[in-house]
A and B are shown apart, each in its own frame.
Chain A
Amino acid sequence: MADYDVIVIGAGTGGLSVGAQLAKQGRKVLILEQSERIGGCCSTFEQQGFRFDLGASLIEATDLIDEVFQRLGTTLKDEVSLLPCDPVYTVIMKDGTRMKYPTSLEASAEEIRRLAPDEVSNWHRFCAAMKELSDNALSLFRSPMDTMTDFVRFFANAPGMLKYAPLFFCSYQDVLQHYFNDARVRESIAYQTLFIGLPPALCPGVFAMVAYGEHAGVYYSKGGMIGIPAALQRCGERFGMEVRLNTLVDKVLVRNGRAVGVKLADGTEVTAPVVVSDINAKTLYLNLIGEEHLPWLVRVGIKSYEYAMAVPMLYLGVDYTPPLESHHTLATLPTDRINRYWWETYEKGHYPTDQQFGIISWTSHSDPGLAPKGQHVIVLTLAPAPYRRSDGKSWDEVKPELTEQIIDYYSAHYIPGLRDHVKVATLATPVDFERNLRLPEGSIYALRQDITNETIFRPAAKSKSIAGLYLVGASTHPGGGVPTTIASGMIAADLIAKYE
């Protein structure tokens, strides 16, 4: 007799989503989390009275998240206090141009008119195409994409997607060039490729729908982004789901090609006929399962995946109201310069101290309760960083100096006065993400997300080599991001209901 019906490794949003749904199905579920808090990259920590979001700082595609809560007999709105963020973001371009993208498409068109009047009609054309693409692609986020049959079934059920199939084979940059003539307009909506973890030239064109999808509304969870995983945990616990923190899984127990439980770091064995992994798929297969249990083709495949980019983050508590205009400010570069940064700086292991692009999240603008009265929280999502530095120095070694240099740069270029008002400054490097969240090489989206790593080429939700093993989270379809990892929990829960 097994100890549990299902063991989930990792209490990220994917793990909590699948755990809660399986508990609702009447299964005895145990979630094991190695760190001291839930949520993975969608989490919040407190330091000297300031509440900082560890990674994600807003959510979009709330319909998708709501679907999971509805499966749990409730709604997202009832479980999480969501604060709308409008405008979606403010852009500060390299040439100093500032513009906003309000939620309303019409209001955004007016902003574009101010910048480049001829581009307004192109904006509407772009939005119409991306709306059609998004409508057709919706089922992609809810359907398994493990086999060719799944792939064909998806296109058979959404024949409108065939029209957009070429977007899988061209870049995001190509799509922008197709619709827009003005380089500044292109620059203003090119940053989204980094949400996918790639520069504009490498990101598949189909992700251009992200730039449209944001206008359905983006939201912040009051009290911090941990509110979303906390709500999933709460819902799961109503159905008996158990979450254990500070519990590291050392091995997945495999007998006769089937997962039968896990071995913890302290040597304890916990058994279950179904194991779900919410950790990086390379770590799962190569370290927790072991190559001896994998057919050679699977070994070749899993080793061939490249980790997604790592992004350092600087958490700042400040004792003034920063001269910013919205929850999110994107400090951008022209698309070609982001590409050049990727190839000539990031991929060569360099990391510049003049941080020329990044995201400034002023979360206490949306929720003043995150900071002591009159003070504020700013989180800087910095440019992608190489895990291995070309200068031979360790990230821990450069951390104090880099922190000061980044504050100086942002103070001089984007947030006047910042230097004189910093009360708390904590930098999280790729090594910190690896150390604290067990993200190998600090990869926030687990594996790269170009078309050779997507859908049927991403590790399958229902393992093809180990029976009783399922995957959720950024490593599997539909990929990294809060709504998508929560949706991966839906896909896995359906597969487990069908096969186990």
Chain B
Amino acid sequence: MRCKKQRHCGVWLLLLLVGLALVYQNLSEAQKRFIQNILRQVPYLPARYAV
């Protein structure tokens, strides 16, 4: 039962990732750069919040 639930979650997660990848692929170069710029800095946000 638990294994089945985990498999469902995995499938949904995979679909979400594929969906996001498809959306990302269709963005313009400028939009991709905007997202890349944010993602690049996301790991620093907790530390920046502390300053």
Known pairs A451-B38, A452-B42, A452-B45; A302 contacts B51 (CB<8 A): yes
> B20-51: which have CB < 8 Å to A?
30-31, 33-34, 37-38, 41-42, 44-51
> Given A450-B38, A452-B38, is A457 in contact with B48 using a C-beta cutoff of 8 Å?
yes
Interface assignment of A343: CB less than 8 Å from any CB of chain B: yes
Specify which chain A residues have a CB less than 8 angstroms from the CB of B47 in the assembled complex.
Answer: 297-298, 300-301, 304
B8 to chain A, nearest CB (A): 30
Q: Are B49 and A202 in contact (CB under 8 A)?
A: no
The one of A171, A281, A335, A336 that contacts B34, using a Cβ cutoff of 8 Å: A171
Contacts of A457 in B (CB 8 A): 45, 48-49
A301:B34 contact, CB within 8 angstroms: no
Contact among A173, A298, A304, A451 with B44 in the assembled complex (CB-CB below 8 Å):
A304
Q: What's the Cα separation between A305 and B44 when bound, in Å?
A: 9
Residues of B with C-beta under 8 A to A456: 49
* Minimum CB–CB distance for B30 against chain A, Å: 4
Q: What is the total number of residues of chain A having a CB less than 8 Å from a CB of chain B?
A: 33
Closest to B32 in A: A201
How many of chain B's residues touch chain A, expressed as a range?
Answer: 10 to 19
Chain B: interface secondary structure? helix
- The reply to whether the CB of A339 lies closer than 8 angstroms to some CB of chain B is yes
Is A170 interfacial (CB-CB < 8 Å)?
Answer: yes
A453 within 8 A of B: yes
Would A460 and B30 count as touching, CB distance under 8 A? no
CA distance A300 to B48 in the complex (A): 8
In the bound complex, how far is the Cα of B31 from the Cα of A174, in angstroms?
A: 8
Interface contact B31-A301, CB-CB below 8 Å: no
Residues of B within 8 A of A281 (CB): 51
Bound form: Cα–Cα A460–B45 in Å: 13
Whole-angstrom distance between the alpha carbons of A173 and B42 in the complex? 22
Sample of 28 A–B contacts (CB below 8 Å): A170-B31, A171-B30, A171-B31, A171-B34, A173-B30, A174-B31, A201-B30, A202-B37, A285-B51, A295-B50, A297-B46, A297-B47, A297-B50, A298-B50, A300-B47, A301-B44, A301-B48, A301-B50, A304-B48, A343-B33, A450-B41, A451-B38, A452-B38, A452-B45, A457-B49, A458-B48, A464-B50, A465-B51
Residues of B with Cβ closer than 8 Å to A?
30-31, 33-34, 37-38, 41-42, 44-51
